[in-house]
Amino acid sequence: MSATLAKCKCQHCNQKIEFDSDSAGATVTCPGCGMDTLLFIPQSSPEPSTIPASKKNMSTLWGGLFLLAIVIAVMIVWSRLTDNAQDEGPGIPAMIVSGVIWMCAAVFGICIYFLPAIVASQKKKRNRQAIFILNLCVGWTFIGWVIALVWACTVDPEPAK
């Protein structure tokens, strides 16, 4: 009787290893990293979602931005409709809307300023703290911001064996 093939990942380097299912539980040397790894048959996981997590995050982000735009538009219309004082300057509703718009612009600006640090954190970069410090200290110069962004987008080299 022939054994069926199974696949698992190395516990050290996550390389896929294919083996006979009869060998489950044995320890072998990983062909990728050379470390000893335990062969196991992975448990069947529930059906994965058809939409990748990164696309879900992007759709949530765009949905939030769209909702924010609608709220700001409604507040602008409300401030125009309730602003009766034509000669006395802007009324309270117009000042509230203006404050909200300025706060949204400040949050957006801070997010753009710290974009290199955010990218490094999302990519789980090895030097993400150094990228944050560089971004914080010299990000106000365009050159420093670009250097931090390029550093955050580069791929970390493989560690020496």
Q: What band does 135 get if pLDDT is binned at 50, 70 and 90?
A: very high
If asked whether residues 150 and 102 sit together in one domain, one would say no
Residue 127 has pLDDT above 70, yes or no: yes
If asked whether residues 102 and 118 sit together in one domain, one would say no
Does 45 map to a domain?
no
Does 107 map to a domain?
yes
Q: What residues make up the domain containing 9?
A: 5-38
Q: What is the mean pLDDT of residues 20-46?
A: 82
Least confident of 19-23, 65-69, 103-107: 65-69
Which comes out higher in pLDDT, residue 107 or 66? Answer: 107
HEC-encoded secondary structure of 60-125 = HHHHHHHHHHHHHHHHHHHHHHHCCCCCCCCCHHHHHHHHHHHHHHHHHHHHHHCHHHHHHHHCCC
If asked whether residues 118 and 89 sit together in one domain, one would say no
Which comes out higher in pLDDT, residue 32 or 55? Answer: 32
Domain count, the chain: 3
pTM of the model: 0.48
